[in-house]
Chain A
Amino acid sequence: MLLDALTLNLGYNATLVALGATALGLAAGTVGTFLYLRQRSLVSDAISHATLPGVAIAFLVMVALGGTGRNLAGLMLGSAITAALGLATVTWLTRATRLPQDAAIGAVLSVFFGTGITLLTVIQTLDAGQQAGLESVLLGATAGMLRADALLIAAGGALTLLATMALRRPLLMIAFDEGYAAQRGLNVAHYDLALLGLVLAVTVTGLKITGLILIVALLVIPPVAARFWTDRAPRMALIAAVIGAGAGYVGAALSASAPDLPTGPLIVLTAFSAFAVSLFCAPRRGLLASALRHTRQRATARS
């Protein structure tokens, strides 16, 4: 069964999900690397939580317009709008006050998420017919994925990936030395905004697969795992992309191998196992390697 899943032999839906998850992981790993190097990984948490009210509002608007309220593109648009609003609030709070960024993120994240949950509860009492399962946007719901959905996800992932590659040089320069980059004429605020826009795009793209909350793991874990294997930023982005794509593919296949296994959490757990392997086994930066080095150095010092 698992082998069937890994070789895409579990039917049409499972194949769609696996391909979508792979594209998503590829984009998330790449964008996440630049976010990590800019030391802004936590911002992804604020973005993802701030999407929830947007999903609820988009659902209500679509139902009011006579639709089913579950159109993926519509939900993505709604979530992007409130996520951008949350992002703007974090940026404004840190710039206008002396609040440190983590505190601003915490405040924005909880308020937006609370609003979203409240709206979802309201929707459930409305008896709008199709609302059942809307809360699955939190953790992903791949069972009813359509071909159009998979194409949308793949297109979103590909566009994000291309944009990130195009901006890699200024993004790296700013991440390494902001002051120098600014003196050379790079508009740091604009590039930061572009980077956060890419994170937002990945988050929204992941709505159907990992859900809004677990996408954070796909943005953070692959770069952190990749950092163990290399000291070159471009290679790190590549390794993170491979880990992200692999986690997406394997996680989706695992979830298809038995009924009712959740896709998002399995993708995250697969990514985590890649992290665990990196943590212990990576040459030079891994724990085993440093322990070995330490023992050897002690032995040399004694003799």
Chain B
Amino acid sequence: MAVPEHDPLTGYKTTGHEWDGITELTTPIPSWWVTVFLASCFVAVLYMWLFPSFATTGGYYRGSLGWSSRGDLVDDVAAGRAAQATWRSALVATPIEAIEANEDLRRFATTGGRAAFGQNCAPCHGVGAGGQIGQFPALVDDDWLWGGTIADIYQTIRFGIRSGHEEARDSAMPAFGELISAQEIDAVARFVLALSDPTTLASRQQMPGAPIYATNCAACHGAAGEGGRDFGAPRLNDAIWLYGGTLEDVRKQIVVPRMGMMPAFTTRLDDETIRMLSVYVHTLGGGER
């Protein structure tokens, strides 16, 4: 057996192996390294003891601190809610029509409403609530399909329009392409366009489309095209056209109507947030008293 020898120069021993007169030192690992290594091992075991760390036959070891990321979240959400508790409870306790009268509450609601609007409403109605021509209605003007009081807006956001929710605002315009002739559709489309053209004020009742309109359209859209909010029937006597205002657009809309659908947000957002959104939308410019 090779015998380790003491090396007088370094003070360490050799391995005892010798290759043609060459021997090798067994220099020990530096003590600082050993200390750090052992400390790391200790921290690893400590961590395993404190935190959820390994699977067991009954689930997993939950750690002596009982920490979990979901538990953290519950605390975070609770802290966030607590910070807003005064305002949130005031939002729910105040009748929705009275929220705007309270200056501080209105400011809280519009600020929160703006954030919620960006996430939930802006994709369709636009970041500035200007709507998308040919697609989704603007919310900054005073042309409302289903009503522009804050209570109307609150109901629309909660239950949606044709959303499938049992309390949703719902209506359906018949596809007149199957009910009246192409000629009649053309005539009534011209009459509908004339409703918003002041130069036809005296002559429009003599147009061939007038009696067709009176029979088929007036029940929902009103005799003078003033619209009917009970059915979400748009005003036809203004120059605002959601799906286009050319003769061809109007004709298409009569043949096979497009009807907007808005989701019910009561399943997605809490009541406080929906109230904030209602106040925000109501104060954008077109809100009705």
Q: Report if A and B associate in a common complex.
A: no
Taking Cβ atoms with an 8 Å cutoff, the residues of A that contact B are none
